[in-house]
A and B are shown apart, each in its own frame.
Chain A
Amino acid sequence: MAKRSVILVLPLLAAGTGLLAGSSMWMKAQEDTGDNSVIRKVVEMVQLNVAVTDKKGNYVTGLSPADFVIVEDRIPQKIATFEEGTGAPQNLEGPGQGNAGPQLIPRGAADLKSGSAEPVDQSNGSQTSPTSIYILFDTSNYMYRGRGFVFAQDAIAEFIRSIEGLNRIAFYSYSRDLSRQTPLTADRNQVLHGVRATVNGDDSALYNALLLTLKDAGEQKGRKAVVVFSNGPDNSSMVPPEDVGELAQSLGVPIYMVSTHEAKLDAVTAAVFARISANTGGEAYFAKDWKDQEHAFTSIRDDLAHLYLVSYYPQPNPNRGWRAITVKLAGEKAKQFHIRTRDGYRPLPEHLSMGAAVAPAGQ
C-alpha cells in the first residue's frame, strides 16, 4: 500500500439535499470561528438507505433519529442527517425534530403516483431529496430466448408508469456494451421512448454495465437506486461482481434485480443476483415470467417510499480497508423490528471521489 499522510483524506461520497445542507453548515461554522487550530480535511459522508420492517414485512415509519444506533467498526457514529421516505430531510445540527412515533405501513400501500416530480414539504418549505432511479435492461441474446426481450420491455414500461411522479429515472440497456438510452430525467414519456427504442444485442456484460451505471448514479445527489432487468447469465464482463458490489456499497446505492425463474437455471447467476442485491440493501426477485412482476414492482416502490435515509460523518477511524457498518434500533424496538441496509463500505481513493466537503477538526 502506498505510504500516505498520517491524516486520512477521504472524499465525500454522496451528498443529498439534506447532506449538502449539513456540510454547508459545517463549512460556515469554520469560517465563522476563524480558528487557526481547525484542521481542514476532506471527509466522506456515509449515507445509508435503511428499511425497517416488522416480522410480517410491513414497513415501520415514524421513527426518529434517536431510534437508530449506528456503529462503524465498533465506533459509535453520530447521525448527521435524517430523512424518512419521501419526506423532508432533517438537519440534525439544529434542534431535534422528533417524530410522532412508529407506524406500520403494509407492503404495497405506497402511493407514489400522487407525488409531484420534486415534492415540497409544506411544513418547512424544504424540498425532499430527489430519488434517482437507474434502470438497466439486459438486451443480450439471453433475453432473446423465448422472446423474453419484448415481455421484459413491457414489464419495464409498466414499472416506469407505476412510479410516475417519483423524481428522476434514467434508462440504460446493455449487451456487450452499455447504452445510455435515456439520461436521468423527470419526464416519464422520454424514458418510455427510450425503452421502446432498445434493440437486441449479442453478448452479455452485466457487471461491466452495472459498474458504469453505478458510477453515473454515484454522481447524483440524494437517494438513488439501480434496478436491473435481466435473466443473466453474464458471459462477457471483465470486472467481477465482487468489485461491483463493493462499489455499490461504497457509493450507498442499493441494487434491485428483477428477473424470472429462468435466471435460476444458472446457479451462479441466481446466487449473485441474490447476494449482490442483499449486500447493497436491495432485493432480488425471481417471478414466474416477465408478465408477473407485480410483486417486484410493489416491493421496489415500497422500498423507495419508505426507506430511511440516514447519514453520518465517520468518526476518526484508522482503517483504510473495509469498514463494517451495523445499524440497530434502540431499546425495545430492536426486538420488534428488522433492519435491512448495506453492511459496510470501503473508502474510495480521492481521485474516485464524487465530491468533497470540509469538516471540522476531530472528524
Chain B
Amino acid sequence: MNSPFLVSAFFLTTSLCICAAPTAQARRASPAQTDNATLKDNLVEKDNFALPQAAGSGAESAATAGTEVPIPGPLRSFLRMAGLSQKIAPEEVLPLLSRNIVVIGYPDFKSKADNPSEFLLLLRRYLAQARELQTLAGAEGVIRVPSCRDAQTLLGILGYRLRENCGPGTSVETSDADRAFLTIDSGFPLADFEDALRAGTPFTYAYPTTYVPVIYAASEWFPAAKGGKKEELVDLLLRDPATARLYWALSRIDGETRAALRQTPGLQKLAPFASVLDFYGSHLSIRAGRMIVPGGDAAEAAWKNLVGATPASPGEFVTRLLAKDEGWLAVYFDALSSVPQAQQAYFTKAGRLEHFYESFRGHDISPSPTRHAFRPDPGLILLMTRLEVQPDGEPHIPGNMQVWSEILRARHDSKISETWGKKTTHSNSPDQLVDAMFALSREGTFGGPLQMYLLFSEIDRARPPQARLTPETVRLLAAKFARFNDQYTMFSEFKKLDNASIARFLTAAQALDRIPDRILRADAMGIMQANVGLWQILARQGQIPEAKWNESWQQMLAPFSGIGSGAQLFDAGRTSLGELAKGAIGKTQISQDELIALLAGPIQGNAAGQQMRQELAGKIRAVLDDQRLVSLDTLFALQRGLNEMAEGKAVGENLLPLAGELREFEMPRPLFTTRERTEWASGLYNVRHTTSQMQTNLAKVIAANAPAEIAAARGQLAPFLRDTLVGLNYAYYEPPGAQMLHNNPLFVRSHDFSGQMTLKGDQAWQTPLLFGRGGTASGGAHLAGSLADLPYVLAQVEQDFIVPENGQSLIWEDLVPDLLTSAILPRWWAVTPTELHAVTLYQRTGEELLTAAGGNAKLRQTVMNILAARMVPQRSEEIESALRTGRAAEVVPRMLPSETFYLSAEFRRQFAANLPADQLADWGAAGKELQQLSREHSEEVSWTRLSQDFGVPHPALEQSYERKLLDVEPFPTFLGYSSRLLAECWDSNNLYWARLADELGYPAVTLNRLVPQLTRRMVEKIAASHPEDWTAVLRAMQETGEEFRQSKTTNPAGAPAPSGMPP
C-alpha cells in the first residue's frame, strides 16, 4: 500500500527531543500590501507562529545568529506536507523534517537514497510545485490572478481546469491528479480561488519564501553530504538520509556541546557515527572544554580506560566513544547518564564501571545497537534505573543468591544465562548477580531472568524486611513466570499481600488450569479474574482495609480449587464474591446495586461527594445496560430458587420470569451469512460463548422440574455470572468518550479467556490482545487473554473514538492510552482540601524559585542541579540560559507541572529547615504558604502522600498500578516497548488538573469527573509532530486548562460539565 502519511510509523520514533530550540526566529518575508483576505489570514498565521517558542540556546546562539535557509512557499504548506505540527517553532522545522526523513523517508529504514518512501516522493514533488508557484509569485512573493480569464497558468500548476466558462456557475475540476493532490494536501486555498473565479474578482495569495534557522551555517553541511553539490539545505536533507540523520542527532545536543563538536572533531568526522549519535548522543555534554561523564570526576579515570581517551579531550573522547564496539559503549554511557546521580554512584564505584561494561559487552558485539529502526530492548536502562541499592550500598536481591543461581541455570535456551548460573553457584556477591543482569540485558528477550529480576525487585520494593519475598516464593514465581507473569503486577501494587497470599493465587490459578473442559475453564478464569479485579478496586479505594487484605484475598480465592462442573463454578463465583463483599462491608450477601455503589466509591459525607458517587454509579449501570448483561440479583435469585427446587420446595412464582430474563439478549441483526462469516472473518468471528447463552432455556428446565436437571441447572448460570462480573470491571475502567462499551453489546461477552486465539499460543493469563479490529465481518473488536492491564487495554480500544481538533493531529497509539489510564484509574475520594491546595502551592513555589533564580547565580546553580536530574543536557542548558539572561518569565510557562512540583519538593527537602541566605533570603508568597501548610499538616503535604494521590500508574516501568510521581528523566522509545515507557514518564496531568480545580474552587471529589473530561479534551487538542513531542502535550494541556478557566468564568455557578468539555 502506498502510504504518503503512514502515521503509524510516526508513533515509533527513535530519539529524544523534549525541548524547544534556540531563539532565532524565522525571517519574515515582506508581503506586498493587499486587500485579499487570504493573504491577511496568512499573515495572521505567520504572526502567531513567530511568537517566541523557546528559551535561548546560550553559547551557540551567537555562533549561528542570522543563519537561516530558505524553504519555498508558505511554512504552513510545507509543514503539512512534511507531516509536522503547525504549532512548532521555526527552529524545530529542520530538525523535525530530518527526523521524519530518517524515520519514514525510506521504507526499510536503511539509508538508501534511491529507495524513498511515498512520503518523501510527495515532499520532493511538493517542493518542485512550490518553486513553480514561487516563480509565479515573483519578487514581491504574491500570486495575483486579476480575473478568471487569467487563471490558466495558476490552474495548470495546481493541476486543475475550469468546468465551465468563466462566470457565476464556474468551478474547477482535476486535470492533473498528481498536481491536484499536492495542491490539496499542502493546503493551497483552492476554495478561495474558486470563489474569486465565480465572483469574477481578483485572486491574491501571499506566497513568500520561508526562512528557518539552521544548525551551524548552511554551507558547512555540504562537505558532509555525498556529492558535495551546492543546493538548498532542504533539498540536501531530502536527498541524503545520512545528512538528515546527522542533522537530527545534532539538533538534540545542547548548544555548548554542539559548538565544541563543530570544532573537534567537526561534522565530517562525526558523519560516520550519525546513527549512534542519533540514538545515544543526547546526553553528551561538554562544559568548559571538558567531557561530563556519569559518576563525575571520580569516574573520569575509569571512563578514560574504557573509551581510550581522556574527558579532557572531548572531541577525541566523543569520537572514540561513538566508535567503540560498534556503539555499545555509547549505549552504556547514555543509559548511565540518564539515571539519577545517587544511582550512578553505585554503578561507577571502585571498578564496577569496567566490569559491568565487560559483562554487558560480552564476547559478541553484533548486531550493532543501531541496526534497527529503534533502540534495542530497554533492559539496560531499566536495570540501571530500577535497581534498588540498599542503605548499605549493596543491590537488593529478592530471595537470595542461591535461588537466582537456580533460576539462571534453569534457562537452557540461553547460553548467557547458563554461564552466569554456573558463575553464581557459589557466589554470595550481589554484584555478581548484577553482572549477570548486565549480560542478559543484551539478549532482548521477554520472560527471562532479567525480566524476573526487575519484576521481583518491584514486588519487594518498599516491603518491610519481614514481608519480603522468601526464596521459596521467588522460586515459585520464577517457575510459573512464563504463564502468570502479567498477573504478578498485583503483588507490586498491593504490597501488604504476603508470601502466603501470593502462593494462594498461584494455587488457585493452577487449579483452574487443570479443569479439563475448555468452556468451563474459560468461564472459571473469567469469574475468578473478575473477582480479583473487583478486589483490587475495593482495596485500592480503601474499602477493604489493608489489615484485612490477606484474609480477604485468600478467602476470595479459596472457592476456586476443585471446580468440576458449571454448578460448582457458579457457587464458587458467588461464594468468592461474598468473601470479597465481606472484606468491604462485613457481610457476604450483596446485591448488584450495593456492589455498584461500592465500586462507585466510598460513602461520602457531603453533597458533592454523594452526587459524584451517584454519577459514577450511573456510568457503571449504563455500561451494564448497554452490554445487556443479566443482573447479579437475577442470577442469585435463580440460584436460590433452583436450590429450593432441588430441596423439593415449590417453584417460586418469580422464577420463570427471572429465567425469561436470561433469554432477553438478542444478537445484533446480522449483515452476513454464516458462509460469508467463515470466508471473510478468518475465524475472528467467535460468538460461541454468546450463542451458548442464547440457547440456554432455564425456563424449560424449571417447568420440567426434573431433580437431576434442576441440580445441574445452576451451571447454566455460570457464563452469565462471568459476563456480569467481567462487565463490572470493564465498566469501572470506562475511558472517557468510550463507544465500544456502549454500542457493541458483544464486547464484554466476547472476551476470550481461553487463550486459544492469541498468536503466541496459550496466553490465557497474559495481558489481553486485541482481535477483530478492522475485520468488517468479525463482529467487532474484542479482547483475548486475561484481565491484566485492563485499564490500559480498554483505553487502547477506545482511543480512536476521540476526535482530534487539529486536522492533521497525531493521536499516539501508546501515549494516549497511558494518558487515559492515568485519568481513569486514580480516584479522588481521599484527597483533602489541604492536599489539593498543597499541589497548587508546590507548583507555584517551583515557579517562584525559577523566577528568583533569574537574579541569583547561586540559587540558579542549585535550581539547575535539581532540575538537571530530570532532563537531558540540552533542555537543562536552555533553561539555565534563559534564567541567566533575564527571561525567567519565558521559562515558567514552558516548565512541566511535574518539574516545578519536583523542584520545590527537592528544594524544600534540602533547605526547608534552613534557607541558604545567599541564595534565597525568604520564600515567595506561595513558598511561605506552603511552609505554613506543611507545619500544620505535615503528612498531607508530604511528597509521599501527594505522590500516592496525584501520581500516575507505571505498569510498564514499575510493573505496578500503584500511583506515584517519578523523579526520573523521560525515557525514549525502544524496540518492543514502543513508546509506552516514554508515555509513563508523563505525570504532569493530574498535578495540573488538581491545581486548576483548586484555583477555580472545585472540591477534590469533582476530580473524579473533571480529570477524565479534561484529559479527553486535552487529547483532542494534541497536535504533535512525533511521540516525544512533550512541548505539544504541554501545550494541549495548557490550552485545555485555559478553555476550562474561560468556561468557569462564563459559568461561575460551576455547572457539573462546563461548556467546552466533552460529556
Which residues of A are in contact with B by a Cβ distance under 8 Å? 1-3, 141, 144-147, 149-151, 153-154, 157-158, 161, 176-181, 189, 192-193, 195-205, 207-208, 211-212, 233-247, 267-269, 271-272, 275-276, 279, 291, 320-322, 344, 349, 351-352
User: Which B residues from 600 to 619 make CB contacts under 8 A with A?
Assistant: 618
The reply to whether the CB of B470 lies closer than 8 angstroms to some CB of chain A is no
Complex formed: what's the CA distance from A158 to B164 in Å? 12
Question: Is A242 a contact of B669 with CB atoms below 8 Å?
Answer: yes
Question: Is A150 a contact of B174 with CB atoms below 8 Å?
Answer: yes
List residues of chain B with CB within 8 A of the CB of A322.
666, 669
Closest-by-CB residue of B relative to A179 is: B807
Complex formed: what's the CA distance from A114 to B159 in Å? 33
Question: Is B743 a contact of A243 with CB atoms below 8 Å?
Answer: yes
User: Which B residues from 140 to 173 make CB contacts under 8 A with A?
Assistant: 159, 171, 173
Complex formed: what's the CA distance from A1 to B638 in Å? 13
Closest-by-CB residue of B relative to A238 is: B781
List residues of chain B with CB within 8 A of the CB of A196.
184, 189-191, 194
B329 smallest CB distance to A (angstroms): 38
Question: Is A205 a contact of B774 with CB atoms below 8 Å?
Answer: yes
B600 smallest CB distance to A (angstroms): 15
A315 smallest CB distance to B (angstroms): 20
Known: A202-B8, A245-B669. A161 touches B807 (CB 8 A): no
Known: A153-B184, A177-B811, A237-B773. A320 touches B664 (CB 8 A): yes
The reply to whether the CB of B800 lies closer than 8 angstroms to some CB of chain A is yes
Q: Within the complex, which residue of B2, B666, B669, B803 is in contact with A178, where a contact is CB–CB below 8 Å?
A: B803
List residues of chain B with CB within 8 A of the CB of A212.
739, 801, 803
B672 smallest CB distance to A (angstroms): 7
Most chain B CB inside 10 Å of its own CB: which residue of A202, A212, A279: A202
Closest-by-CB residue of A relative to B676 is: A271
User: Which B residues from 723 to 780 make CB contacts under 8 A with A?
Assistant: 739-740, 742-745, 772-774, 776-780
Question: Is B743 a contact of A211 with CB atoms below 8 Å?
Answer: yes
Question: Is B181 a contact of A3 with CB atoms below 8 Å?
Answer: no
List residues of chain B with CB within 8 A of the CB of A241.
671, 776
Stretch at the interface among B205-213, B450-458, B629-637, B1036-1044: B629-637
Which residues of B are in contact with A by a Cβ distance under 8 Å? 1-8, 80, 159, 171, 173-174, 177-178, 180-181, 184-185, 187, 189-192, 194-195, 592, 618, 621-622, 624-626, 628-631, 633-634, 661, 664-666, 668-672, 676, 680, 739-740, 742-745, 772-774, 776-781, 797-798, 800-804, 807-809, 811
Complex formed: what's the CA distance from A179 to B773 in Å? 20
Q: Within the complex, which residue of B2, B670, B740 is in contact with A238, where a contact is CB–CB below 8 Å?
A: B740
Q: Within the complex, which residue of A158, A271, A272, A352 is in contact with B626, where a contact is CB–CB below 8 Å?
A: A352
Complex formed: what's the CA distance from A241 to B680 in Å? 14
Closest-by-CB residue of A relative to B198 is: A189
Please list the 4 inter-chain residue pairs (A to B) with the smallest Cβ-Cβ separation, ordered nearest first.
Answer: A147-B177, A240-B780, A1-B664, A235-B774
Complex formed: what's the CA distance from A236 to B191 in Å? 31
List residues of chain B with CB within 8 A of the CB of A320.
664
List residues of chain A with CB within 8 A of the CB of B740.
238-239
Closest-by-CB residue of B relative to A321 is: B666
A9 smallest CB distance to B (angstroms): 12
List residues of chain B with CB within 8 A of the CB of A144.
2-4, 181
Complex formed: what's the CA distance from A6 to B773 in Å? 38
List residues of chain A with CB within 8 A of the CB of B7.
176, 201-203
Question: Is B174 a contact of A151 with CB atoms below 8 Å?
Answer: yes
List residues of chain A with CB within 8 A of the CB of B808.
199
A163 smallest CB distance to B (angstroms): 14
Question: Is B671 a contact of A245 with CB atoms below 8 Å?
Answer: yes
Question: Is A3 a contact of B661 with CB atoms below 8 Å?
Answer: yes
Question: Is B181 a contact of A268 with CB atoms below 8 Å?
Answer: no
Question: Is A268 a contact of B680 with CB atoms below 8 Å?
Answer: yes
Complex formed: what's the CA distance from A212 to B634 in Å? 34
A214 smallest CB distance to B (angstroms): 10
Complex formed: what's the CA distance from A184 to B282 in Å? 48
List residues of chain A with CB within 8 A of the CB of B668.
240, 242-243, 246
Complex formed: what's the CA distance from A251 to B781 in Å? 23
Question: Is B743 a contact of A239 with CB atoms below 8 Å?
Answer: yes
Question: Is A157 a contact of B777 with CB atoms below 8 Å?
Answer: no
Given A150-B159, A202-B6, A242-B671, 9 more pairs with CB closer than 8 A = A146-B177, A147-B180, A196-B194, A199-B184, A202-B3, A203-B7, A236-B800, A238-B744, A267-B680
Complex formed: what's the CA distance from A275 to B798 in Å? 26
B7 smallest CB distance to A (angstroms): 5
List residues of chain A with CB within 8 A of the CB of B630.
1-2
Question: Is A239 a contact of B195 with CB atoms below 8 Å?
Answer: no
Complex formed: what's the CA distance from A3 to B778 in Å? 30
How many pairs of A and B residues are in contact by the CB < 8 Å rule? 201
Q: Within the complex, which residue of A2, A150, A208, A243 is in contact with B624, where a contact is CB–CB below 8 Å?
A: A2
List residues of chain B with CB within 8 A of the CB of A193.
191-192
Complex formed: what's the CA distance from A243 to B782 in Å? 14
List residues of chain A with CB within 8 A of the CB of B618.
351
Closest-by-CB residue of B relative to A147 is: B177
Question: Is A149 a contact of B181 with CB atoms below 8 Å?
Answer: yes
Question: Is A1 a contact of B174 with CB atoms below 8 Å?
Answer: no
Question: Is B184 a contact of A2 with CB atoms below 8 Å?
Answer: no
A160 smallest CB distance to B (angstroms): 10
B490 smallest CB distance to A (angstroms): 27
Question: Is A2 a contact of B625 with CB atoms below 8 Å?
Answer: yes
Q: Within the complex, which residue of B181, B191, B666, B670 is in contact with A150, where a contact is CB–CB below 8 Å?
A: B181
Question: Is A145 a contact of B173 with CB atoms below 8 Å?
Answer: no
Closest-by-CB residue of A relative to B4 is: A200
Question: Is A177 a contact of B800 with CB atoms below 8 Å?
Answer: yes
Q: Within the complex, which residue of A1, A195, A198, A240 is in contact with B744, where a contact is CB–CB below 8 Å?
A: A240
Question: Is B803 a contact of A179 with CB atoms below 8 Å?
Answer: yes
Question: Is B628 a contact of A1 with CB atoms below 8 Å?
Answer: yes
List residues of chain A with CB within 8 A of the CB of B629.
1-2
Question: Is B780 a contact of A154 with CB atoms below 8 Å?
Answer: no
Most chain B CB inside 10 Å of its own CB: which residue of A2, A233, A239: A2
Known: A144-B2, A275-B671. A237 touches B743 (CB 8 A): no
Question: Is B3 a contact of A141 with CB atoms below 8 Å?
Answer: yes
Complex formed: what's the CA distance from A26 to B801 in Å? 38
Question: Is B661 a contact of A1 with CB atoms below 8 Å?
Answer: yes
Question: Is A203 a contact of B8 with CB atoms below 8 Å?
Answer: yes
Known: A2-B631, A247-B743. A147 touches B622 (CB 8 A): no
Question: Is A271 a contact of B671 with CB atoms below 8 Å?
Answer: yes
Complex formed: what's the CA distance from A271 to B670 in Å? 12
List residues of chain B with CB within 8 A of the CB of A239.
739-740, 743-744, 780-781
Complex formed: what's the CA distance from A269 to B631 in Å? 37
Question: Is B773 a contact of A238 with CB atoms below 8 Å?
Answer: yes
Closest-by-CB residue of A relative to B742 is: A352
A319 smallest CB distance to B (angstroms): 10
Known: A2-B625, A200-B4, A271-B676. A154 touches B776 (CB 8 A): no
Q: Within the complex, which residue of B800, B803, B809 is in contact with A180, where a contact is CB–CB below 8 Å?
A: B803
B480 smallest CB distance to A (angstroms): 33
Question: Is B2 a contact of A157 with CB atoms below 8 Å?
Answer: no
List residues of chain B with CB within 8 A of the CB of A192.
191, 194
Complex formed: what's the CA distance from A158 to B742 in Å? 36
Question: Is A208 a contact of B191 with CB atoms below 8 Å?
Answer: no
A171 smallest CB distance to B (angstroms): 12
B952 smallest CB distance to A (angstroms): 24
List residues of chain A with CB within 8 A of the CB of B745.
243
Question: Is B774 a contact of A236 with CB atoms below 8 Å?
Answer: yes
List residues of chain A with CB within 8 A of the CB of B672.
271
Closest-by-CB residue of B relative to A344 is: B669
Question: Is B774 a contact of A268 with CB atoms below 8 Å?
Answer: no
List residues of chain A with CB within 8 A of the CB of B742.
352
Closest-by-CB residue of B relative to A351 is: B622
Question: Is B800 a contact of A176 with CB atoms below 8 Å?
Answer: yes
Most chain A CB inside 10 Å of its own CB: which residue of B185, B664, B776: B776
Question: Is B631 a contact of A208 with CB atoms below 8 Å?
Answer: no
Q: Within the complex, which residue of B192, B671, B676 is in contact with A276, where a contact is CB–CB below 8 Å?
A: B671
B65 smallest CB distance to A (angstroms): 35
A103 smallest CB distance to B (angstroms): 31
Known: A178-B803, A192-B194. A243 touches B664 (CB 8 A): no
